Structure 1
């Protein structure tokens, strides 16, 4: 049997779209409405068409008149330094780059992915516990790989599960625990309660 050539980008219109493809267009439409580019009536109409779209061509038609979102590769690495006062990112909505560097310093760093938006299949987190430690909070359904982590003196505590949901990224943690260590976990009871009481806005 002769192998069929892979479709070019300009030939993809007739290909079937996935759930993730439809969801990405839904998010782009909601962002456009929030920015005032389309009104609410038009948003409802386009959302309905996006959720029932079967091909890339149908999805592309819904965003053809909207600015294209920045490519994930355009996002620079995020570096958090605990310093004297500590540093954190999350749990609010933020866009995850392909690389995050967390240095505990003297006051610690907390990196919370609970409501983060990630377009990458894999994210590398360089965590250095140093004197005050680094805490990484991973949502349920996301998976962390800490096998390449050096526990150092402070150690590594990873209590996350390996129950990965489709379409979620792998958080690959590397670096060193340093003096205070690195903790990788899912949200605790208090954090879950706080998230539940503050639902995300569309």
Structure 2
């Protein structure tokens, strides 16, 4: 009988993009005066040689979330027809989504998001709101009222270090709220749309 491999998030191998995200957060912390230049050099060196998420996590654990001026939120209203935000788009720190009768789809898979947290106010209403997120993104739904439609998390695994957190509040209404990864069909469509 063979032992199952340890698939806990901390033991997963980190990618170059994961290491770069941590380095960027460290640089921002140094620019804000939260760490000095010696600490920056030491932590950046450790980030660039990190092999797993477990090695990356402690490098930014004491820095807390990055605070960004929230400004005006991105507001999407489903109305009679569906509304979607897909492809490459800039993710703001605050989003408001009203499902209406047509529904709202927010696809984050092709975005370049450097935010630590994204505040999302949801009123799913009749048709609901769907979030499509990359692997490793997390969602905090403690402030989300399940309503009649409820909340469904169809993602795999937990949140990985350096990835954004969707902080959802509001109500799931009758249509419900779903968070999931891209389907096979969506991934094939995205590959076809990539410039050659």
User: What TM-score do you get using the length of structure 1 for normalisation?
Assistant: 0.62
* Structure 2 CA distance for aligned equivalents of residues 97 and 165 of structure 1: 21
- Give the paired residue count: 146
Flag the structure with more relative contact order, 1 or 2, with Cα contacts below 8 A and sequence separation at least 6. 2
1:78 pairs with 2:74: yes
The list of structure 1 runs, each at least 4 consecutive aligned residues, that deviate by more than 3 angstroms after superposition, is: 6-15
The answer (yes or no) to whether the contact 1:138–1:144 under 8 Å persists in 2 is no
* Structure 2 CA distance for aligned equivalents of residues 151 and 139 of structure 1: 23
Say which of 90, 94, 98 aligns to 1:95: 90
Q: How does 1:138-157 map to 2 (within 5 A)?
A: 138-157=133-152
- For the pair shown, the structure with the greater C-alpha radius of gyration is 1
Q: How far 1:9 sits from its partner (Å)?
A: 5.5
Unaligned runs of 5+ in 1: 1-5, 23-70
Say which of 112, 115, 123 aligns to 1:120: 115
The answer (yes or no) to whether the contact 1:102–1:134 under 8 Å persists in 2 is yes
1:179 pairs with 2:177: no
Task: Give the aligned CA root-mean-square deviation in angstroms.
Answer: 3.0
Change (3 A) 1:152 1:9: closer
